[in-house]
Amino acid sequence: MDGICEGRVVIVTGAGRGIGREHALEFARQGADVVVNDLGAEVDGTGASMGPAQDVAAEIRAMGRRALVNGDDVSDEQGAKGLVTAAIEEFGHLDVLVNNAGILRDRMLVNMTFEEWDAVIRVHLRGTFGPSHFAAEYWRELSKRGDDVDARIINTSSPSGIYGNIGQANYGAAKAGIASFTIIAAMELARYGVTVNAISPAAATRMTIPLRARRGGPEPVADEFDPSAPDNISPLVVWLGSVESRAVSGRVFNVRGGRISVAEGWRAGPVASRESRWDPAELGEVVPALVAAAQANANMAGVPSAPDEG
C-alpha cells in the first residue's frame, strides 16, 4: 500500500536529530524521497558534524527510499539557495519544505548578549525565510508556465513563541515571528498552488529535556505511550505535506503526544470606542476595565492562565 506522500520530494532542515529526524523518517515511510539537511551542530549552534544527517539518510535508504545529505547553512543566503537547488537537481522536483532547524541560547533579558540574540533570530527566522524564499521562487515559475503546483511549506513555531516563556526572549520572539510569517506567506503563495502552515510542538528533545529536568517533569514509563516522544509530532507534519492537505493553509497547530489543536492567534477582544480623541486622563478607568473583561493570556499549554499564574 502506497503512503500518503508517495513520490513526493521533501526537504527537512535540522533533520539529523530530534523532531526533524522523526519528520524525515516518517516522510520516507509514507513514500517520499527526502533531503536530510543538518549542520550537526550542538544545541547552541556551535560545532558541526555530518554524522547525524548521514545516519538518518542511511535509515531512509534502508526503507527503499532515496535520500540526499545536505550540510548547507539555511540561515545563509547562498546556503538556502544551494539547498533548494540541490533537491531539484537530485530528484527532479520539489514538493515540500519543512523548516525545522533551530538553536537555543536561553538567557534572561537583562543578561542576554547581542550575539545570543542575533544567533537565535538568525537561525530560526532567517533560516525559515531563506529556504522558503527560494522554494517559493521555484514554485512560482512552475505555476507561471502552467504546471499544476501542489506544494507545501511547513514551519516550526513553539509554545514559547505563541504563548511566551520566561528566559527565552530571543527564541520566543523568533518563533512568534515564524507564526506570523506563516500566515502572511500563506496569503501570498496561495495563487501559486502552495500552502503554508506551522506547528507548535511540545516534545522531549535535546533542546527541551534539560528544561523539563529542572522543572521535575515525570520520566516516561517503559512500554507505555510517551506523550513527550518526538515521533508523535511527525504524523501531523507528514499529513500537512501530503496531497490530502490542499485545503488547509495559514494555520498554526499545537501538537503534543496524541493531541492536536489549532492555535487561534491574536484577536480583537473587548473594545471601548468613541467618535472623538481620547484624553489620556480618561483612560485610567477605560483601560483597566478592558483588561478585566479580556480573556487572560494563554499559558504554555495554550489555555488561559489561572489568576495565580500571572
Structure confidence by residue, pLDDT tens digits, 148-183 = 999 999 999 999 999 999 999 999 999 999 999 999
pLDDT at 97: 99
d(CA 224, CA 228): 11
Confidence tier at 217 by pLDDT (50, 70, 90): low
d(CA 289, CA 291): 5
Domains of the chain with bracketed CATH: 9-263 (3.40.50.720), 280-309 (no CATH)
Digit-coded pLDDT (tens) for 66-84: 999 999 999 999 999 999 9
Task: Give me the chain's average pLDDT, please.
Answer: 92
* C-alpha count within 13 angstroms, C-beta hemisphere, residue 301: 7
d(CA 246, CA 273): 40
Note whether 67 and 61 are within 8 A (CB): yes
d(CA 29, CA 59): 10
Supply the angle between the helices 169-189 and 127-144 in degrees, to the nearest 10. Answer: 10
Q: Which three cell numbers stand for residue 46?
A: 556551535
- Res 44 pLDDT > 90: no
Q: What share of residues in the chain are helix, strand, coil (percent, to 5)?
A: 45, 15, 40
- Res 61 pLDDT > 90: yes
- Res 190 pLDDT > 50: yes
Mean pLDDT across 85-90: 98
Contacts of 140 (CB under 8 A, 6+ apart): 189, 192
d(CA 57, CA 212): 30
- Res 127 pLDDT > 90: yes
pLDDT at 310: 47
User: Which residue's C-alpha cell is 493531541?
Assistant: 259
Catalytic machinery residues: 158, 171, 175
Digit-coded pLDDT (tens) for 6-24: 999 999 999 999 999 999 9
Digit-coded pLDDT (tens) for 239-279: 999 999 999 999 999 999 999 999 998 999 999 999 999 99
d(CA 105, CA 116): 6
